[in-house]
Amino acid sequence: EASVRDGTVTAGSVHGGVVVGLFDGFAPQPTLGGLLGLDLLLSGDLVFLPGDQGFDGSAFAWGYGVRLGILRESFTLPGITLSATRRHGDDVAVRPPGSSTEVSLRDMTTISLRGEVGKELWGLGFLVGAGWDRYEADAALRLDGISGGNPELGLSTAGFEADRALFFAGVSRTFVVWQLAGEFGWARGFGDGSADVPAFDAGEGSLFGTVSLRLTL
């Protein structure tokens, strides 16, 4: 069973995104197109954090960015894109059940860079890529029951920063306007002096995976 004390938490989420084509790119040859194509990316994410594990409500994040086309997918060539996005998230606070310690993150932002190569084969879309994420926030730690029960006693860190690289692959199948997709990958640990907490090694890499059903309008 997922638990903050065990270092893992299960949470549901809803994601939405909008892609606006700004420039289709150059096409010097019939089978070679999409050079320097540009898209505007907008996104919204709502994560339902479990209150029984000490989280304070849900968290919403919104983001924006651009995607640069290096090569548009064709019958003979794969599609290649580079993207850069920035997301802003709600404040998040967690106090594990039975604990006198509360950890909170405020003014959270995430900068993400991605490079992807994709190709459709045998009716399936295949994708491989690599990326880099940078996380920034103001972190605060509050300790109750110390120094006469002063509820404001704690430590705060302005400008907390951490970053990590990740690698991923995916496969998808499109049914008219619906797309069923699966993705898996590995993310490098934060390291770089990031503080460890019980049951969590900041320098240890982790596997991740997602299954999604997307509606394209």
Per-residue model confidence as pLDDT tens digits over 34-76: 888 999 999 998 888 877 777 877 789 999 999 999 988 888 8
Residue 91 near residue 106, CB atoms below 8 Å:
yes
| Whether residue 86 has pLDDT greater than 60 | yes
Q: Are 134 and 110 in contact (CB under 8 A)?
A: yes
Q: What pLDDT is attached to residue 54?
A: 75
Distance of CA 141 to the CA centre of its chain: 24
> Which pLDDT band holds residue 96 (cuts at 50, 70, 90)?
confident
Rg of the chain over all Cα atoms, to the nearest angstrom: 21
Residue 154 pLDDT > 70? no
Question: b/e for 144-168, b at 16 or more Cβ within 10 A?
Answer: eeeeeeeeeebeeeeebebbbebeb
pLDDT digits (tens, 9 = 90+) for 184-217: 999 887 755 454 444 445 567 788 888 888 777 6
What average pLDDT does this structure show over 93-101?
75
